């Protein structure tokens, strides 16, 4: 392992930071892909596998491959947790990461340790660097991460590898897999339209690109247009495509799903179908749990109720605010970035702040890390956190390639239908100033950010506010980041918020530019 050792090592740079510098060098552009480079020489991935001597390992790996617009990360997380609780050695590859790139690579439910990560990272990086050039260039950011995942899972000899598609399906780096055990397609909707197409049919066609000849596949109830395309693609490849029903909450024996929100029962149902099929096809299961509607194996229940994925309907109290009443600043985090997801997320947020919702999994993400995350860091007094007469404040981030006229009305209307109105709306830059990977990659102090897009968002929100006749939102304050003139507590919030706000922007890659958080709300008592 080179660790970047060229005889001029810097004493103030840690081995991990050195690896992050090398990884950052693979970020080739800072704008989303367009149709002119669709595919982007997908065949290169097979060359990379040969260089890394991974082609045979992948063919023998027992893989579950999941694509979709919404819920694929959650579905993969449920799937991994179920099979881990069944006693299998699991590998999970997801994207993007929240703070540390190692979050993308999970072994038995835990982020890969730094020592192993560095060993596998430099093993892959050095071999690729030595064997690439003009004809076969170095893989770009996301492709390298996918290749690294394959190396990790092969070397660690996992029993099952669960792979979440990064973008689309057909040309995604994970689709170098040719013989998965089972495939899944989560809910489809309008997202990445500049890359995947302008209709649900076109988008479904790209997602169905992960279907393989004769390999069974599952999906969830889809719009007719999308379902017709999925069925046609499945028929062409002799794929037995089935629709997995949402999980019946009664099967959890009074427990709650580890991932919060009503929509997660859809993802959980798909995960149960994927796990059941994987168990059957790998010779580990005789009973078909897909046909059982009255009970689930205890291992399935344990997996579903302890699954964890940060940044998905996550409730986090601000532990940096020193106060006599802890828990008086609470973040409600979610990465919703499509009209449908925005509505679902707004519903979750509205319910989460109501008194009758306070006993539901507000600190579940702690347990989910299998106590590897300090309980103290996120523990809160629920009675304090969910007190009445609190103030809802919206922090909103939207990339310019998205249409805020589709997102903001869904958000406002969904919240209003539950009696929730934001006192303040803060619009923050959609362009990341974090151009390097790593938790220590902070922007320079003199960075200037163009806020013209945020002012546009502000005006749109203001028009929506004024358009709500007789609503309680007429006094809502609308501000962009440069206009903040609040109490020290709110300023403290903004500083803390930056860490969470850029969790998707830390995942910049050539195939997949940052998927910014669209809904990031907090409540201050």
Could you list the residues known to form a binding site for ATP, using ranges.
312, 334
**Burial class of residue 474 (count of CB atoms within 10 Å of its CB; 0-12, 13-18, 19+):** exposed
Q: Do 471 and 416 form a contact (C-beta atoms < 8 A)?
A: yes
Instruction: Compute, in degrees rounded to 10, the torsion defined by CA atoms 252, 257, 262, 266.
Output: -80
Q: Do 67 and 169 form a contact (C-beta atoms < 8 A)?
A: yes
Q: Partners of 483 in the beta sheet?
A: none
From CA 264, how far away is CA 268, in angstroms rounded? 6
Q: Do 86 and 279 form a contact (C-beta atoms < 8 A)?
A: yes
From CA 377, how far away is CA 440, in angstroms rounded? 20
- Any alpha helices (H) in 11-63, and if so which ranges? 15-24, 44-51, 55-60
Cis, peptide link before residue 241, omega less than 30° from 0: no
From CA 240, how far away is CA 348, in angstroms rounded? 34
Give the number of residues written for the chain: 525
- Any alpha helices (H) in 241-286, and if so which ranges? 264-281
Binding residues: 95, 164, 192, 312, 334
Q: Which residues contact 440 (CB under 8 A, 6 or more apart)?
A: 17
What are phi and psi for residue 381, nearest 5 degrees? -85, 110
Q: Do 393 and 524 form a contact (C-beta atoms < 8 A)?
A: yes
Binding residues for Mg(2+): 95, 164, 192
Of 124, 146, 112, 150, the C-alpha closest to 51 is: 124
Lateral strand order in the sheet of 519-524: 314-317, 329-334, 519-524, 391-396, 424-427, 477-480
From CA 249, how far away is CA 259, in angstroms rounded? 13
Q: Which residues contact 461 (CB under 8 A, 6 or more apart)?
A: 396, 408, 412, 425, 427, 478
From CA 119, how far away is CA 109, in angstroms rounded? 20
């Amino acid at each position: 392992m080179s660790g970047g050792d060229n005889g001029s090592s810097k004493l103030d740079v840690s081995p991990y930071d050195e690896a992050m510098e090398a990884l950052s060098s693979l970020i080739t552009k800072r704008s989303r892909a367009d149709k002119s480079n669709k595919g982007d020489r997908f065949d290169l991935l097979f060359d990379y596998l040969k260089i890394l001597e991974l082609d045979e390992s992948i063919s023998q790996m027992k893989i579950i491959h999941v694509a979709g617009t919404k819920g694929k990360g959650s579905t993969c997380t449920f799937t991994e947790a179920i099979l881990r609780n069944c006693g299998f050695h699991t590998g999970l590859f997801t994207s993007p990461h929240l703070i540390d790139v190692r979050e993308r690579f999970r072994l038995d439910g835990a982020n890969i340790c730094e020592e192993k990560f560095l060993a596998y990272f430099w093993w892959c990086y050095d071999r690729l660097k030595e064997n690439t050039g003009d004809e076969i260039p170095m893989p770009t950011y996301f492709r390298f991460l996918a290749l690294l995942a394959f190396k990790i899972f092969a070397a660690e000899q996992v029993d099952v590898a669960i792979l979440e598609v990064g973008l689309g399906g057909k040309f995604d780096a994970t689709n170098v897999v040719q013989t998965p055990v089972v495939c899944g397609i989560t809910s489809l909707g309008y997202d990445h339209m500049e890359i995947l197409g302008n209709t649900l049919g076109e988008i479904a066609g790209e997602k169905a690109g992960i279907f393989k000849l004769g390999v069974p596949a599952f999906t969830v109830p889809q719009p007719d247009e999308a379902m017709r395309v999925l069925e046609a693609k499945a028929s062409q490849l002799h794929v037995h495509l089935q629709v997995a029903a949402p999980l019946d909450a009664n099967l959890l024996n009074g427990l709650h799903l580890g991932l919060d929100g009503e929509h997660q029962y859809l993802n959980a149902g798909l995960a149960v179908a994927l796990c059941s099929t994987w168990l059957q096809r790998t010779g580990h299961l005789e009973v078909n749990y897909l046909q059982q509607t009255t009970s689930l194996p205890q291992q399935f229940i344990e997996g579903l109720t302890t699954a964890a994925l940060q940044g998905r309907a996550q409730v986090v109290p601000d532990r940096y605010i020193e106060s006599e009443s802890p828990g008086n600043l609470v973040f409600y985090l979610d990465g919703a970035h499509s009209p449908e997801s925005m509505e679902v997320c707004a519903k979750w947020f509205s319910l989460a702040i109501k008194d009758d919702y306070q006993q539901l999994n507000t600190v579940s993400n702690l347990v989910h890390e299998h106590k590897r995350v300090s309980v103290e860091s996120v523990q809160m007094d629920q009675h304090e956190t969910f007190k009445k007469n609190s103030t809802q404040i919206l922090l909103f981030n939207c990339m310019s390639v998205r249409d805020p006229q589709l997102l903001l009305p869904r958000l406002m209307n969904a919240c209003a239908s539950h009696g929730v109105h934001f006192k303040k709306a803060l619009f923050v830059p959609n362009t990341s100033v974090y151009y390097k990977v790593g938790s220590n990659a902070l922007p320079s102090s003199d960075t200037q950010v163009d806020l013209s897009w945020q002012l546009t968002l502000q005006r749109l929100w203001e028009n929506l506010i004024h358009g709500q006749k007789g609503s309680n939102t007429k006094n809502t304050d609308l501000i962009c980041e440069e206009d903040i003139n609040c109490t020290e507590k709110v300023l403290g919030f903004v500083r803390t918020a930056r860490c969470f706000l850029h969790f998707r922007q830390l995942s910049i890659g050539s195939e997949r530019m940052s998927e910014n958080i669209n809904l990031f709300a907090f409540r201050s008592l």
